[in-house]
Structure 1
Amino acid sequence: MKVPPDLAATLAAAVSEGSLEGAARALHVSQPAVTQRIQALEKTVGQVLLVRSRPVRATAAGEAVIRYARQVEHLERDLGEALGVETQPRPSVAIAVNGDSLATWFLEPLAVLADELGVTFQLHREDEGRTADLLSDGTVAAAVTTRSAPVPGCTVTRLGDMRYGAFASQAFAAQWFPDGVSAPALSSAPVVDVDEDDALQTRFLRAHDVDPHQPPRHRIPGSSEMVRAIELGMGWAVLPPALGAQAAGLVELGGPIVTVPLHWQQWRVRSALLDRIAAEVAAAASTALGR
């Protein structure tokens, strides 16, 4: 079976744009042409690839085809550079990254590449435990993730350990932890989480033998918003020390350091651009995280 790259690219455009009409605009063709291409692609592979919902979404088989389409884009770009033929005026790469890395060390290497290579980045901020899912479904070409086992068709490079400490405002610490961090104090002091999947505060509580369901817990989406909530005295949370030091009036509460191992995963394709990005990210991580 041979999947025509132009048909795969049409499917990818439909999912990216959310509709067949959007794909038609992005590809500068008619909507019937988009429909015909996707139907021809589904006939070729013998499977349904697109759920005609609003927005449209790929089936599991469709995700595999979309991933193939985006890998072909990278290979075509590298081939064009090798032949001295311009394929795209500005290459673009989609990457999934956790919010804390994005807020502390991750942007610096991307800024270097944006300046030197003229590449643009489409960043998807997601919990580090879920970023690999965006890699496996073809949404992104690379991801910062806690997953050490490679996503099928990907390579893995260890970046280092993201370290976290517990922080609160001075007034909050004086009110809730006048004698320092202890199990009784942690059992009643309000906690700030980013979302329901934020396990860092839970790990800190369990390290002190505290039931994580016992203290009241705020849910404040977004790293910067979470830090602002801590500055305002709404609760305590576990933060990277660099982020806690930048915030206004926060103090570290002490207690065990929570560590999260991070890895870089990217498609296993021979792409000079992806390899250059991986090298810059690994170098920045080595400085910021250690190995």
Structure 2
Amino acid sequence: MNLDQVRALAAIVETGSFELAARRLHLTPSAVSQRVKALETSTGQVVVRRGSPCTLTEAGAVLVRFARQVELLEAESHELLGVTRASPAVLSVAVNADSLDTWLHPVLEAAVAWDDTRLSLTIHDEDHSLSLLRNGDVVAAITSETDTVPGCRQVPLGAIRYVPVVSPELAGRFTVGGAVDWVNLPVLRYDTRDDLQERYLAARGLSSALSPTTVPSAPGLRAAALAGLGWILVPESSVAGELADRRLVALSDETVDVALYWHAWKVPSPRLRRLTEAVARAAAAGLRPAPALGHPVLSAPSQPVPRAARGM
């Protein structure tokens, strides 16, 4: 297998087309096509689906992940040999919005001192981020998925505790005799893949009769809840102040613990090891101990939180 051929494949997927890949690599589109054909001949498999944009096959994803691992190791070898790099190495990482909004801040602070490395963070739902790792789009991912990815290691991080919150005004309208009208209470969500609220209701044998309001931002969801647009499960740590002064109230004493895991390439990279250690330290300080396998997990809160039904 020729590394230049694999790099051509990676450029096609990154840019979306043979033509744009050719511009990036300073080649002709014909030369890029020949490299891909040679790669498919040597592997005996189709590696890219021609389209708009071009996408990887399963075999192509394996090859692209290999190419990017080689690029990372090249950066490490240059440093060991005393060769000056033109620019810092980039570590692409998939993170979920709630982690980035809460416990992951110390990692960003640590990265300030990494002159040889730049982070490129991609926001992705924690239930679906392993696909980016399999395709070689990222070197590591924070996810709730426990599946193993070939060539990667998995490290348990801990759990985020979620509490169902709503504005006091909305709670008053949909709480009768101490019982919450979950079916008709407006609901919020992060995006179409965010089904945490749906699963929370399903655990109660319920489902919402309303289409959710979508707000693709962790701070935006809190703002929407404060405005009274609907209820939402949010990290307990992110709304401690709002719960204390009752700008938000908890709809139930039942919470959801979502276990998180760190999946990263299993390569001898000091940069990736340093990042893994920083994530582990931040998780130890900012996450709860992981619950037993199973997701979501209904549990009693760590301490009493204001309930919508109290004081009404």
Shared fold, TM over 0.5: yes
Match of 1:80, SS?
A: helix
- CA-atom RMSD, angstroms? 2.1
Q: Give the ranges of 4+ consecutive aligned residues of structure 1 lying more than 6 Å apart after TM superposition.
A: none
The one-letter code matched in structure 1 to 2:22 is A
Compute the displacement of 1:179 (Å): 5.0
2-side partners of 1:179 and 1:79: how far apart? 68
* Counterpart in the other structure of 1:219: 214
Compute the displacement of 1:231 (Å): 2.0
1:18/1:55 contact within 8 Å kept = yes
What is the TM-score of this pair, normalised by structure 2?
0.84
* Counterpart in the other structure of 2:281: 283
1:64/1:138 contact within 8 Å kept = yes
Compute the displacement of 1:246 (Å): 6.2
Report Cα offsets for 1:27-55 as digits up to 9, x if no partner: 23333322222222222212221122111
2-side partners of 1:38 and 1:127: how far apart? 32
Match of 1:186, SS?
A: coil
Compute the displacement of 1:139 (Å): 1.1
Which of 134, 139, 142 is 1:141 aligned to?
139
2-side partners of 1:135 and 1:150: how far apart? 11
1:49/1:58 contact within 8 Å kept = yes
**2:265 maps to 1:238:** no
Q: Which runs of 5+ in 2 are unaligned?
A: 290-312
The one-letter code matched in structure 2 to 1:119 is T
Q: Using the TM superposition, name which of 258-267 and 107-116 deviates more.
A: 107-116
* Counterpart in the other structure of 2:223: 228
**2:76 maps to 1:81:** no
1:169/1:250 contact within 8 Å kept = yes
Report Cα offsets for 1:219-240 as digits up to 9, x if no partner: 3333333223212211101000
* Counterpart in the other structure of 2:310: none
Compute the displacement of 1:277 (Å): 0.4
Which of 152, 157, 181 is 1:185 aligned to?
181
1-side partners of 2:253 and 2:108: how far apart? 34
Match of 1:224, SS?
A: helix
Q: How does 1:90-169 map to 2 (within 5 A)?
A: 90-169=88-167
Q: Using the TM superposition, name which of 155-164 and 43-52 deviates more.
A: 43-52
The 1:243/1:82 distance shift into structure 2, 3 A limit, reads: same
Which of 200, 203, 212 is 2:199 aligned to?
203
2-side partners of 1:288 and 1:186: how far apart? 30
Report Cα offsets for 1:262-284 as digits up to 9, x if no partner: 00000111111111100000100
What is the TM-score of this pair, normalised by structure 1?
0.90
Q: Using the TM superposition, name which of 22-31 and 57-66 deviates more.
A: 22-31
Compute the displacement of 1:178 (Å): 6.0
The one-letter code matched in structure 2 to 1:140 is V
Q: Which runs of 5+ in 1 are unaligned?
A: none
Compute the displacement of 1:93 (Å): 1.0
1:75/1:271 contact within 8 Å kept = yes
Identity %: 36
1:149/1:156 contact within 8 Å kept = no
